[in-house]
C-alpha cells in the first residue's frame, strides 16, 4: 500500500471494448412496447430515429463490443479519467474507511455524457446522417452532443427547456460556440411546440415537451437528421461502461477492491457506467461487492415507485418500458439536481434492482449539499448537484464503517463538476434550500393512471 492518492491508467491501457451486461443478465430484459399497438417495438419502429449501428447495440447479446478507432481517438482527449483516494475527506470524517472516487468531470463537457455523445455521433455519421436533434434540460447533455457533433462535422439542433434557456445562459453559449443551434422549447419550429404555445404562450417548457420537439424534428427530416438520447437506453448505458472498466484496473493499481460501489441515478447512465462492470464481477466471478444507486428523496423512482409498464415521456408518445416509475405525469419538485428528475429509470437498472443484484437509497436535498461542501473543502473539486447524492451516500457508508469500527473500501462516481451550478450553491449557503419528501398520495394517484398492458 503506497501513500499515493491518484491512480492513473496509462492511455494505451484504456479499455478497447464496451461491456454489454445483457450477455450476463439472469433473465432477458422485458420487451419495450409500442405506445399505440402495445406490441414489442422492433428495429423498423426505431429506424426513423436511430441509426442501425445503435439499434443493433440496443438489442445485442454480445458481451463485449469493440470501441471504434475514431471514438477511441476522441476518448483519448480526456480518458482514462483519474481515480483518486479521498484521503483528506477520510481524515475529516475520522473514518477507517477508504474512499475512492472516479472523476468524470475532466471531460471537455464537464461530465460523463461525452462518453456516449461521441459514439452516437460516430454511428450516425457512418450512416450518412447530417445532423442530430436532441433535448436538454440543465444543459449537460446538450453540451456533450454539441461537442460530439462538432468533432464529427455534423449539425446539432438542441431544444432546450425554456426556463433553463433563460436561467443557464452560459450552457447555451457553450453549445452555440461548438456550432449547435439552440432553441428555447416550446418553440414555433415544430407542431408539438406550436400546439403548446397556442394553448399557453407563456409556457416555460418541460423535458417532456422538448423531447417531443426533438423527436418530431428528426422524424420529419426525411432521414437527414436523427435523434439522440443521453441516458436510459441500453446502448447509452453500455457506452458508459468504460468508466467502471477503467476503475477496476485502477483499483488494482491502488491494491484494493471496493466493498461498495456508489453512483447517483437519474436515468441510470453514470451509475451503469461505474456499476455494470462490477455487476459482471459479482455475477460471473462471485465477487462480494455491494452496488448502490442513490436518488433524490424528491424523485424516488427506485425506492418508492412501482415496477410496471409506463410511457417514457410525459405525453405518452414514447415507447412503453417496464420500469420503476413514479408515473409519466410526475411533476418534479424544484430540485437543483436537474439531471435526477426523471420519473422512470433505465430498464437494465430496474431489472438488476428487482432481482436484488443492486441496492438503492434516497437522500434529501440538503444532505447532498452538506456532503458536497464537505467534499469540496476536503478535496478541492466543486461537484455537480447530481453526484453530490453519491457523495452523501459514500459519507453515510464511511460513517457506518466508523461506528462499526471496520475498514470498508468505498468507490463512488463523481460524474460531473458543478461550475455551472453555483446559483444552487448560493441558495444552499443562503439557507434557502428545502427538503421535499415525495407525497404517498401523489404516488397512489399516478399509479392509477399507468397504462394498462
Ligand atoms: C445527466 C447527468 C446525470 C443524470 O443522468 P444519469 O443518466 O442518471 O447519469 C447525473 N449527473 C450528471 C453530472 C449529469 O450530467
Domain ranges of the chain: 6-13+79-110+235-448, 18-66+113-233
Residue pair 320/451 in contact by the 8 Å Cβ criterion: yes
Ligand 1: distance of its center to the CA of 266 in Å? 6
> 453 pLDDT band (50/70/90 cuts)?
confident
Instruction: Give the C-alpha distances (Å, rounded to integers) separating 114 from 107, 188, 325.
Output: 7, 29, 26
From the CA of 39, how far away is ligand 1's center (Å)?
Answer: 30
> Once rounded to an integer, what is the mean pLDDT over residues 117-146?
97
Distance 107 CA to ligand 1 centre (A): 14
**CATH code at 6-13+79-110+235-448:** 3.40.50.1100
Predicted pLDDT of residue 2: 64
Q: How far apart are CA 403 and CA 63, in angstroms?
A: 40
Cβ-based burial of 35 (10 A; exposed 0-12, middle 13-18, buried ≥19): middle
How far is the centre of ligand 1, averaged over its atoms, from the C-alpha of 220 (Å)? 29
Residue 368 pLDDT > 90: yes
Q: Is the pLDDT assigned to residue 37 strictly greater than 60? A: yes
**Residues 148-187: pLDDT tens digits?**
999 999 999 999 999 889 988 999 999 999 999 999 999 9
Return the CATH number of 18-66+113-233, one of 1.10.357.10, 3.40.50.300, 2.40.30.10, 3.40.50.1100. 3.40.50.1100
User: In which order are the strands placed within the sheet that holds 225-227?
Assistant: 181-185, 155-161, 131-136, 225-227
Is the pTM higher than 0.85? The answer reads yes
If one compares 210 and 333, the residue with the highest pLDDT of the two is 210
Q: Is the CB of 268 under 6 A from ligand 1?
A: yes
> Is 331 a residue whose pLDDT tops 80?
no
Position in ligand 1 atom list of the atom nearest CA 270: 9
Could you identify the atom of ligand 1 that is nearest to the CA of residue 340? 4
Mean pLDDT, the chain, integer: 95
Tell me the mean pLDDT in the region 258-284.
98
- Predicted local distance difference test score (pLDDT) of residue 329: 83
Q: What is the pLDDT of residue 364?
A: 96
Would you say residue 314 has pLDDT above 80? no
Confirm or reject: Cβ of 265 under 6 Å from ligand 1: yes
- Judged against a pLDDT cut of 60, whether residue 260 lies above it is answered with yes
pLDDT of residue 152: 98
Other residues' Cβ atoms within 10 Å of the Cβ of residue 66: 11
Q: State how beta strands 155-161 and 181-185 pair.
A: parallel
Q: Is the CB of 415 under 6 A from ligand 1?
A: yes
Does the Cβ of 386 fall within 6 Å of ligand 1? Answer: yes
**Ligand 1 probe mutation, 116, 271, 353, 415, most atoms within 8 A of CB:** 415
Span from the CA of 340 to the centroid of ligand 1 (angstroms) = 7
> What is the position in ligand 1's atom list of the atom closest to the CA of 232?
7
Centre of ligand 1 from the C-alpha of residue 267, in Å:
7
What the block records as the C-alpha cell of 119 is: 459514439
* C-beta 136 within 6 A of ligand 1: no
Q: Which of 266, 293, 344, 414 to mutate to test the pocket of ligand 1 (most atoms within 8 A of CB)?
A: 266
Say if residue 1's pLDDT is above 60: no
Select from 140, 161, 241, 421 the residue to mutate for testing ligand 1; criterion: most ligand atoms less than 8 Å from CB.
140
Residue 339 has pLDDT above 90, yes or no: no
Same fold, 6-13+79-110+235-448 and 18-66+113-233: yes
113 touches ligand 1 (CB under 6 Å):
yes
Per this entry, what is the length of the chain?
Answer: 453
336 band by pLDDT with thresholds 50, 70 and 90: confident
| Residue with CA nearest ligand 1 atom 2 | 339
Is 266 touching ligand 1 by the criterion CB < 6 Å?
yes
Atom of ligand 1 nearest to the CA of 236: 7
What is the average pLDDT across 308-337?
86
- Residue 199 makes CB contacts below 8 A (sequence gap 6+) with none
Worst-scoring range by mean pLDDT, 327-331, 422-426, 439-443? 327-331
Amino acid at each position: 500500500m503506497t501513500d499515493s492518492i491518484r491512480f492513473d491508467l496509462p492511455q494505451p491501457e484504456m479499455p478497447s471494448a464496451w461491456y454489454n451486461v445483457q450477455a450476463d443478465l439472469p433473465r432477458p430484459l422485458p420487451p419495450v412496447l409500442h405506445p399505440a399497438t402495445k406490441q414489442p417495438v422492433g428495429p423498423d419502429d426505431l429506424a426513423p430515429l436511430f441509426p442501425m449501428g445503435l439499434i443493433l447495440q440496443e438489442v445485442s447479446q454480445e458481451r463485449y463490443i469493440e470501441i471504434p478507432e475514431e471514438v477511441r481517438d476522441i476518448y483519448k482527449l480526456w480518458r482514462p479519467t483519474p481515480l483518486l483516494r479521498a484521503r483528506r475527506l477520510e481524515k475529516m470524517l475520522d473514518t477507517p474507511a477508504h474512499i475512492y472516487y472516479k472523476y468524470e468531470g475532466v471531460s471537455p463537457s464537464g461530465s460523463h455524457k461525452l462518453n456516449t455523445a461521441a459514439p452516437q455521433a460516430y454511428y450516425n455519421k457512418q450512416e450518412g446522417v447530417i445532423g442530430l436533434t436532441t433535448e436538454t434540460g440543465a444543459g449537460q447533455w446538450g453540451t456533450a452532443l454539441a461537442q460530439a457533433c462538432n468533432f464529427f462535422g455534423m449539425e446539432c439542433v438542441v431544444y432546450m427547456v425554456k426556463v433553463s434557456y433563460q436561467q443557464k445562459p452560459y450552457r447555451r453559449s457553450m453549445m452555440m460556440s461548438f456550432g449547435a443551434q439552440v432553441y428555447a422549447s416550446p418553440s414555433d419550429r415544430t407542431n408539438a411546440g406550436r400546439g403548446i404555445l397556442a394553448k399557453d404562450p407563456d409556457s416555460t417548457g418541460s423535458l417532456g415537451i422538448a423531447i417531443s420537439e426533438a423527436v418530431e424534428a428528426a422524424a420529419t427530416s426525411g432521414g437527414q437528421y436523427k435523434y439522440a438520447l443521453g441516458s436510459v437506453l441500453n446502448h447509452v448505458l453500455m457506452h458508459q461502461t468504460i468508466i467502471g472498466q477503467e476503475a477496476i484496473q485502477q483499483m488494482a493499481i491502488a491494491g484494493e477492491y471496493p466493498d461498495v460501489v456508489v453512483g447517483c441515478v437519474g436515468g441510470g447512465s453514470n451509475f451503469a457506467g461505474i456499476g455494470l462492470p462490477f455487476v459482471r464481477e459479482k455475477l460471473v466471478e462471485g465477487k462480494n461487492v455491494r452496488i448502490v444507486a442513490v436518488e433524490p428523496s424528491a424523485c424516488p423512482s427506485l425506492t418508492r415507485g412501482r415496477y410496471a409498464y409506463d410511457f417514457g415521456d410525459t405525453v405518452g408518445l414514447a415507447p412503453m418500458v417496464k420500469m420503476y416509475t413514479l408515473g409519466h405525469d410526475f411533476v418534479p419538485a424544484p430540485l437543483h439536481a436537474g439531471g435526477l428528475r426523471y420519473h422512470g429509470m433505465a430498464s437494465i437498472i430496474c431489472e438488476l434492482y428487482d432481482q436484488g443484484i443492486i441496492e438503492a437509497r434516497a437522500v434529501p436535498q440538503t444532505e447532498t449539499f452538506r456532503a458536497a461542501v464537505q467534499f469540496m473543502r476536503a478535496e478541492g473539486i466543486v461537484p455537480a448537484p447530481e453526484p453530490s447524492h453519491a457523495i452523501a451516500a459514500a459519507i453515510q457508508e464511511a460513517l457506518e464503517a466508523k461506528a462499526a469500527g471496520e475498514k470498508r473500501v468505498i468507490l463512488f462516481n463523481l460524474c460531473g463538476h458543478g461550475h455551472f451550478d453555483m446559483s444552487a450553491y448560493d441558495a444552499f449557503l443562503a439557507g434557502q434550500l428545502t427538503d421535499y419528501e415525495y407525497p404517498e398520495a401523489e404516488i397512489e394517484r399516478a399509479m392509477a393512471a399507468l397504462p394498462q398492458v
